Amino acid sequence: MQPLPKFEYREPGSVAEAARLLAELGSRAKLIGGGTDLVPSMRQGLYTPAYVISLQRIADLRGVAWEDGVGLRIGPMTTLREMEASAEARARFPFLAAAAREVGSPQLREMGTVGGNLCLDTRCRHFNQSEDWQDCVEACVKRGGEFCKASPNGRARKCFAVFSADLATALVAANARVTLQSAGGARTIELADYYTGDGASPTAGRPDEVLTEVLVPSAMQGVLGTYLKYRMRQAIDYPIAGVALTLRPRDGRVHDARMVVGGISSRPVIVKGLGALLEGKVLDETLAESAAKLARKSATPLANTAGDRAHRKQMVYEFARRALAEAAHAAAGAGGGEAR
């Protein structure tokens, strides 16, 4: 069997030790959570880190807990299965547990972590290919070449590879924040700002930083949320489009709506103008249709994943419409008063 490229393996016992290793090794090292993203790409020779640093023995990085006045704290080494089964997540933000459940397959969720999902590499049919295939073609931007093959004329000098993480898309809709720690200190940023939109370098995380916590702020309590995923098969496949929606129903009207679309661009795309369009209104079919059209407008996929571009765009509309219908239904169920 085609072996993995050779590397040294480390298992630091604390975040401080992991940060120290990263400070010392710089971009020669790669962190590994469950390895379900990194190992396949190493197998294809896409990454050849000299050091692989596992976070699996750092107990502090695992678990989901609610803290009053703070929010839902999720350790990055929590597996997707633990996330989908977490009583706290299911009780407070069931759509986050549901989004975790949409990822890959049971085995991938058993291995894959929340942190790995947030830091998932972008994907493209010109990039995620075997070494043999790569050897036969010219390198594109993501592989250090000059041009993007997926761009309409093949001349763009930017990478548009697709960010396809299900849970990350839902967490952006949940206004999550992430904490990044390096040997020099820690910073906390909005998850939405963690994504650069550049397919070749999709996150703002530095090579010396460990993502140490995901926080869904307590102010999000009571929000209604949905995550709907479109894919070819009902398992294993990455999303062709994923639509996350959060809103707060009050007196039969919509407040604070936020829709995020994954699987179509190099970052989770926040649908512009949707919050303003829906604010304070009754979510009827006509309004839902206008909102879904906004979602379609925000989706500008390139020909780099499964499904053709027009179809993907139309599916964003369709899944946005369904998410809004689901939310309208749930809001009506919530009795028009305080959200559940």
Which residues contribute to the site for ligand FAD (CB under 6 A)? 30-38, 40, 55, 76, 80, 103-104, 108, 111-113, 115-117, 119-121, 164-166, 205, 210-211, 236-238
Q: Which is nearer to other proteins, 106 or 222 (CB)?
A: 106
56 binds other proteins (CB under 8 A): yes
337 binds other proteins (CB under 8 A): no
Q: How far apart are the first and last CA of the chain?
A: 52
Nearest approach, Cβ of 31 to ligand FAD (angstroms)?
4
Nearest approach, Cβ of 278 to ligand SF4 (angstroms)?
32
Distance CA 46, CA 25 (A): 19
**Binding partner of 238, given ligand FAD, other proteins, ligand SF4, none, CB within 5-8 angstroms per partner class:** ligand FAD
110 binds other proteins (CB under 8 A): yes
Binding marks (x or -) toward other proteins, 190..229, rule CB under 8 A? Answer: ----------------------------------------
Segment contacting other proteins (CB under 8 A): 31-39, 172-180, 255-263, 271-279?
A: 31-39
Other CB atoms within 10 A of residue 281 CB: 14
Distance CA 84, CA 70 (A): 21
Q: Which residue is nearest to ligand FAD (CB)?
A: 116
Nearest approach, Cβ of 304 to other proteins (angstroms)?
18
**Binding partner of 142, given ligand FAD, other proteins, ligand SF4, none, CB within 5-8 angstroms per partner class:** ligand SF4
Nearest approach, Cβ of 96 to ligand FAD (angstroms)?
13
**Binding partner of 43, given ligand FAD, ligand SF4, other proteins, none, CB within 5-8 angstroms per partner class:** other proteins
Classify residue 15 by burial, with Cβ atoms within 10 Å: 0-12, 13-18, 19+: middle
Binding marks (x or -) toward other proteins, 66..95, rule CB under 8 A? Answer: ---------------x--------------
- Residue 160, token pair as written in the block: 């548009």
- Number of residues engaging other proteins in binding (CB under 8 A): 32
**Secondary structure in 3-state letters for the chain:** CCCCCCCEEECCCCHHHHHHHHHHHHHHEEEECCCCCHHHHHHCCCCCCCEEEECCCCHHHCCEEEECCCEEEECCCCEHHHHHHCHHHHHHCHHHHHHHHCCCCHHHHHHCEHHHHHCCCCECCCCCCCHHHHHHCCCCHHHCCCCCCCCCCCCCCCCCCECCCHHHHHHHHCCCEEEEEECCEEEEEEHHHHECCCCCCCECCCCCCEEEEEEEEHHHCCCEEEEEEECCCCCCCCCCEEEEEEEEEECCEEEEEEEEEECCCCCCEECCCHHHHHCCCCCCHHHHHHHHHHHHHHCCCCCCCCCCHHHHHHHHHHHHHHHHHHHHHHHHHCCCCCCC
Q: Which is nearer to ligand SF4, 146 or 251 (CB)?
A: 146
236 binds other proteins (CB under 8 A): yes
- Of 3, 69, 144, 185, which lies in the binding site for other proteins, with binding defined by CB under 8 A? 3
Nearest approach, Cβ of 76 to ligand FAD (angstroms)?
4
Q: What Rg do the C-alpha atoms of the chain give, in angstroms?
A: 20
> Which residues, in sequence order, are bridge partners of residue 177?
190, 215
Segment contacting other proteins (CB under 8 A): 13-21, 33-41, 170-178, 249-257?
A: 33-41
Segment contacting other proteins (CB under 8 A): 18-26, 107-115, 181-189, 265-273?
A: 107-115
Binding site for other proteins (CB under 8 A): 1-9, 11, 32, 34-36, 39-40, 43-44, 52, 54, 56, 81, 104-108, 110-111, 234-236
